[in-house]
A = this chain, B = another copy of it.
Amino acid sequence: MTKFNFLLTAVALASSVSVASAWDVLPSEAPAPADNPTTPAKVELGKMLYHDPRLSSTGTVSCSSCHNTMLGGEDNRPNSMGVNGQTGGRSAPTVWNSAFNTVQFWDGRAESLEAQAAGPVTNPIEMGMKSWDEVVARLNSIEGYQKAFADAFGGNAISKDTATKAIAAYERTLITPNSPYDKYTSGEQLAMTDQQVRGMNKVAELGCTGCHSGPAFNGPGLFQLFPVHSNGMYQARYHFNKDLGLAEVSKKAGDEHRFKVPTLRNIALTAPYFHNGAVKTLDEAVKIMAKLQLDKELSKEEIADIVAFLNALTGEFPEQTMPHLPATAGGTFN
């Protein structure tokens, strides 16, 4: 090893250490709240409910329709499509590793996976059920669910509370470990390419870690302003400012354009990008983030390095069996 190479290696290792302190290896298990410990029966029931289109008014849209567990945890669409072909204004966030979000939804309005799970089911443009009472009545009419809820929670247990707890318990198992980054950080120096290491160090140097830190690269869960710097060209092209973010819910001027920081894990699988899904490629997304959040212009090489690193955040997707959904006795969706 020449002295020059040795120095470079030492610098790279030092960067790697400082980067590792901003980020973390993805845990293999997600912590569960005290009132909803993860149990196999709950996870199995949650998997059924998550994949059951009968939780929608038309019987055609399940949680997995927009947060697809066979894909990167979402639908690769700018906006998802709910019942009767309706679309909203936001792009579905991935369900994979969502257990490591401190808050849920783009505007962070749900403080837990349980609270999040309750939302789309009765949203008129998503799953379109009139009320959770209607959902509970439908689930009660399906004999197999009576048994599955009893197994998970005890007898006569079908309610909004137990259904959302089961879905959240299942979602806590949706973890993608062993990405090249995780292997590299755990000591496998060959798990990432030189370009990916360069990209990693560039991300740290630029200060992306100010928001994208922790095991899921999604910060400590605080809301962040987006965009920080105004830019007429990007605004004209992508209309980022149209969505008020947290202020759409809180109605407070100070919350305008504040969003939950999304995870960077598996981001190579979840195009298109941003809250409104307006940007098709990761290259363009990286360029925009540097400009709008950090007021920095990146070179083509820097963008390529960072995108290479982001590809090193694609984890291993666990093998899952398909749930057998219990039969509808004579039920139909007119």
Contacts and interface: CB of A to CB of B under 8 A. Distances in A.
A220 interface: no
Contacts of A58: 77, 81, 85
A56 to B, nearest CB: 10
Given A51-B70, A84-B85, A322-B321, A269 B330 contact: no
A278 to B, nearest CB: 10
Contacts of A68: 53, 325
B84 A59 contact: no
Interface residues of A, number: 46
A118 B317 CA distance: 30
Contacts of A321: 319-322
Interface in A17-47: none
Interface in A306-323: 317, 319-323
Contacts of A327: 71-72, 268-269
Contact of A85 (B70, B86, B334): B86
Given A322-B322, A329-B271, A53 B72 contact: no
A52 to B, nearest CB: 8
Nearest to A65: B60
Nearest to A284: B330
Interface of A: 51-54, 58-60, 65, 68-72, 75-78, 81, 83-86, 268-269, 271-272, 277, 280-282, 317, 319-325, 327-334
